Homo-oligomer: A and B are copies of this chain.
Amino acid sequence: MNKIIISQINTIAGDISFNKEKILECIKKAKNQKADLIIFPELALIGYPFGDIFIRHKSIIERELKALNDIAKNTENITALVGFAEPTKDANKKPFYNSVAVIQNGKIIDTVRKRLLPNYSEFNDYRYFEPSDKVSKILELNGEKFGILVCEDSFNDKSFFKDKCIYKIDPVKELMEQKPQTLINCSCSPSRCGKEYIKNGLFSSIAKKYKVNYIYVNQAGYADNLCFDGASRIYNTNGELTLRAKSFEEDFVITDNFQGEINPLPEGSDKKFELIDLKSDYEKDLDRTYKSIIFGIREYFRKNGFKKAVLGLSGGLDSSICAVLLSDALGKENVWGISMPSRITSKESKNDAKLLAENLGINFFEIPLADAIDPLKSMLNTAFTNIETEKFEKSTTIENLQARLRATLLWSISNEHKQMLPIATSDKSEAYIGYATVNGDMSGGFAPIADVTKTKLFALGDFLNKNRAHKNAIPQAILEKPPGAELKINPKTGKTVCAEEENMPYEFLDEIIWNVETKGYGFDELIKHEFYYEKNNNLSIEQKKEWINKFYWKSKCAVYKWHIIPPSVVVDVKSINSVEYRQPIISKVN
């Protein structure tokens, strides 16, 4: 049997010399191990996703091809599968094939070209790649036959996807006619809620159906809001999982019998989502969400040369969760939590923020805002008297001013200190309906929880309190009080206004979002749909209609904000992150 290496590397888009050195290093290590075959992920040499960079920076492609030749020179006595962008050299075609070079003893003996090109959601393959219309050749190695696939090529199995197959051909089926004993899938597959369940089921069923060993090699890394979770693996001819590399980190795994260590996945990753109960579905995804975001923060900071983060700590849920995630990703000594209370911030909130920071061991101090707000208010009064045009009756001006002043301080602090980024703490539920302040809580160099809804954040808070080494780091009060930015006082109650009073219950809002994103429900379907919140709370149909209308109206006005969300980590099944979802600002959906 061949000795095979799964080389689950972490590359940088366009950084040919970095990627090449990493590949060469792995090949050297593999040769030391007397391996027969080393497998790299899809597009390993140019890095994925590389976007449009080759259009303005043509030399990247020349350098890539040169690097591929340099790699070839280092393959005596070994076969290497290296993903690269292969120029089509045909003006009538897309610029590249998405190819895997089969390199052996100093020569590129074959190139396997991707046949199925995904162009939905976060994928844009057809913008760059020409699909191959040929069944690829089989690689014979020491009497063993390998069929090679590139990522999506494996995702059109009729027995598994049934009527959801989106392509006409099934490259696996066509490849299997040549009777390989083993299939190899070179991939760059981002982690998302529910995806692991599909991948595991699909690969296992293909292995079993064709009685073939199935080797899946995925990139580990983060780029452009996407986390690639690694977790490369092997299924045997019975469809059983026999080896799995680490999740969310690089790995270099050797096997000579299609078996090896089965590293754990984040808890719940391989569970099925029923799409019927929001809360229990969220709970299944908490560990993966946590690990994705931690990895995303760490990679974004590291690859862009940052080490430290500064964020405002309000004593509320969003900023508290962000603080835990940043502390776990960057180290507590690299996080500065700053309490910036205004006159209406409650004593409890201030204490909760402080207690959280103490529990985490992050840096913490307080800057009261009042002294800066007062002169700004008087400036604004001057401005307002100078502008004779219609005003809003209920002004959010002063509320937003506080949020913007806080962000200004955070940006100033990051400006002054090396390798430091300010953090946007706004969450997905709020972004969805525009309840996040431009240049305020939605402004920062990174937005850790921009794809996590509020109800999921509450569950994540509980999860973190139970599962981190330091139990209950988040004060219980933070997980129990109703969310609200403490930006204004309700004159009737004398208390700060909570967000649900202004919008709608988060449980209801998140259930709308879930149904719109995963089921494509429109207004009529939402009205017909029986919400969990409805069942449990005796909701009137008038109230339900009002909230659903509010959702449409508010989310229409929020699309502008979706377009300027800072870099984040996509974790949900679907997202409003522009890496995946594109709604024109000028548009009408209902």
Q: Which A residues are within 8 Å of any B CB, using their own CB?
A: 12-15, 18, 47, 49-53, 55-60, 91-92, 94, 119-120, 124, 126-127, 163-168, 222-224, 299-300, 303-304, 308, 336, 338, 363, 365, 367, 371-372, 375-376, 378-380, 382-384, 386-387, 389-392, 395-397, 400-401, 404-405, 407-409, 411-413, 415-420, 438-439, 443, 445, 516-517, 520, 522-524, 560, 563-564, 566-567, 574, 578, 581-590
Contacts and interface: CB of A to CB of B under 8 A. Distances in A.
So how many copies of this chain end up in the complex? 2
B404 A587 contact: no
B300 A516 contact: no
Contact of A59 (B47, B222, B524): B524
Nearest to A517: B56
B380 A413 contact: yes
Nearest to A564: B564
A559 to B, nearest CB: 9
A407 B304 CA distance: 27
A524 to B, nearest CB: 7
Contacts of A14: 584, 587-589
A51 B587 contact: yes
A567 B587 CA distance: 14
A52 B583 contact: yes
Given A50-B584, A439-B439, A587-B13, A417 B391 contact: yes
Given A55-B520, A524-B59, A564-B566, A400 B389 contact: no
A92 B391 CA distance: 53
B587 A412 contact: no
Contacts of A367: 379, 382-383
Contact of A375 (B222, B372, B420, B443): B372
Nearest to A334: B389
A78 to B, nearest CB: 28
A365 B387 CA distance: 9
Contacts of A336: 387
B397 A586 contact: no
A57 B522 contact: yes
A51 B583 contact: yes
Contacts of A438: 411, 443
- Give 4 closest A-B pairs by Cβ, nearest first: A15-B588, A59-B522, A51-B582, A57-B589
B584 A223 contact: yes
Contacts of A372: 372, 375-376, 379
Contact of A383 (B376, B383, B409, B517): B409
Max count, chain B CB within 10 A of own CB: residue among A411, A443, A516: A411
A54 B502 CA distance: 29
A127 to B, nearest CB: 5
Contact of A408 (B168, B405, B586): B405
Nearest to A524: B59
Contacts of A223: 584-587
A386 B413 CA distance: 11
Contact of A166 (B91, B126, B127, B303): B91
